[in-house]
Amino acid sequence: MPGLEQTFREVIRQLHASKTADEIAALLVERLAPALGAGGALLQLFQASRDAPVVTQAWGQGRDYLEKPWIEPEQLLAHADGQQVVVLQQSSLDAGPFPGDQGSAARATLAYLPLGGKEDWWGFLVFWYDHVLALEPTVLSDLEDLGQQATCALSKVWLIARQKEEFDRLAQQTERLTALGRLAAGVAHELNNPLASILLYSSNLLKKVPAEGSLHQGLATIIQETKRCKNLIQEFLELARRQEPKKIVSNLNAILAKVTRLLENEFRRRAVRLQQSLAPDLPDLWLDLGQMQQVFVHLLLNALEAVPPQGTVEITSRWDRDRQAVVIAITDNGSGIPPEHLDRIFEPFFSTKPRGTGLGLSVSRDFIHDHQGDIHVESRPGQGTCVTIIIPTGVGPARPDATGA
């Protein structure tokens, strides 16, 4: 068949440039059938979860049989071996895409090319001849190679299509969540005003009632719960705003020292030991002081709540020369985190504490990411938890001096 090898090369080149399964199907049928001297051709592709073909393309006499039953896949696959081309006499099949009359069926030949696999999708390309066909071994080999190329091209376009569908779904979900976040942020702002009034009046009333009695206790509960609501709103707004950090050159050891001084009385009140092992040679970094203070306060309070009286919380800092980063670890010997919860601890509003908001760790992770850093949590029930924060150097308008780098 003159020019057939050139046709195969052109078809393979165009296969990988095609953007849809329909384009690939049309290319295979309309270019190959005439080049192979076939009288008709039919290509059908199926997905595993569907009985009817999702792609159908016919050429020549194959158009006459689009609405007729196709070859049963099990019947065709029984004759096929992987991607091998199968040449069959029409009479060897009980049914086929080109039944014809009994006389022509006895003479007809099908050149069958399986496509894909049965797990995700499968299909076939059949060329029909009204005479006994004997294809040369080189042509059969080229057809087999082309079938493999077509399978790869079809898998690629379907993968791209699935990824686009997933991207569109995520884009729509993100748009809905963004709109919901704006609405919720507006509601949170509106709630702050009545909460401030409740807190003001209840605090004034508390000063005027006897220290003993149910009225004093009730007002104290109102104040406590109002403050909790305001803290929750503040954490939510921090999560929703996602403002760019305002960084200055500072040192993480200095921030840790300030935070531990603030929480010193709380640790003493709960009879929890706070141990520190801070490396003296930490380099200065570009840091948002407010964000980093909030991160350490939240992590230390989490550790404090997890350990029993006489328990221990340890803070360590070190300079990692290989990573060119400062590493902070906060370790406790408390109750630990169940394995089924570890993967969810950074999800907004997920909390295992009865009165937890589920926002602290989510906000903390966002703040760490704002510094191009990372945060990891390792924990075992009954054996405590270790939270590791890694902040790289050289993040900012200019690289700060890194002592010991």
pLDDT per residue as tens digits for the range 114-151? 787 666 787 888 888 877 777 788 888 888 888 888 88
Q: What is the pLDDT at residue 194?
A: 86
* pLDDT at residue 401 in the model: 43
- Could you read off the pLDDT of 323-362 as tens digits, one per residue? 899 999 999 998 888 888 888 888 776 676 655 556 678 8
Same-domain check for residues 216 and 306:
no
Inside any domain, residue 100: yes
20 and 115 within one domain: yes
**pLDDT tier at 4, thresholds 50, 70, 90:** confident
Span 280-288, average pLDDT? 89
Residue ending a domain, among 194, 222, 241, is 241
Q: CATH number of the domain at 13, please.
A: 3.30.450.40
Please check whether residue 400 lies inside any domain of the structure. no
Mean pLDDT of the residues in the chain: 79
Say yes or no: 231 and 339 in one domain. no
> Which residues are 46's β-sheet partners?
122
Q: What percent of the chain has pLDDT over 70?
A: 74
Per-residue exposure over 230-241, b if at least 16 CB sit within 10 Å of its own CB, e if not: bebbebbbbbbe
Q: List, as one string, the DSSP characters of 33-75.
A: HHHTT-SEEEEEEEETT-SS-SEEEEEEGGGGGTTSPPPPHHH
In a shared domain, residues 337 and 230: no
For residues 43 and 29, the answer to whether their CB atoms sit within 8 Å is: yes
pLDDT of residue 101: 43
How far is the C-alpha of 274 from the C-alpha of 263, rounded, in Å? 10
Under the banding of pLDDT at 50, 70 and 90, the label for residue 182 is low
Residue 135: the pLDDT is 74
Q: Is residue 170, in this structure, part of any structural domain at all?
A: no
Least confident segment among 29-38, 196-205, 345-354: 345-354
Expressed as residue numbers, the domain containing 204 is 178-241
Answer yes or no: do 221 and 236 share one domain. Answer: yes
Q: Are residues 15 and 152 in the same domain?
A: yes
| More confident of the two residues 103 and 211 | 211
> How much is the pLDDT for 69?
53
* Of 377, 376, 370, nearest in space to 392 by CA: 370
How many CB atoms neighbour CB 365 within 10 A? 18
C-alpha of 6 from chain center = 43
Last residue of a domain, one of 222, 241, 260: 241
Distances (CA, A) of 228 to 40, 104, 221, 222, 349: 76, 86, 10, 10, 15
- Number of separate domains in the chain: 3
Whether residues 275 and 131 share a domain: the answer is no
Q: Do 285 and 228 have their domain in common?
A: no
The CA-based angle 296-348-181, given to 5 degrees, is 115
- Is 399 contained in some domain? no
pTM score: 0.46
Per-residue model confidence as pLDDT tens digits over 222-245: 988 888 787 777 766 665 555 666
Catalogue the long-range contacts made by 95-99 (C-beta closer than 8 Å, 24 or more residues apart): 95/69, 95/71, 96/71, 96/126, 97/42, 97/62, 97/65, 97/68, 97/70, 97/71, 97/126, 97/128, 98/40, 98/42, 98/61, 98/62, 98/65, 98/126, 98/128, 99/65, 99/68
pLDDT tens, position by position, 377-402? 999 888 899 999 999 986 544 444 44
Listed residues 101, 132, 165: the one ending a domain? 165
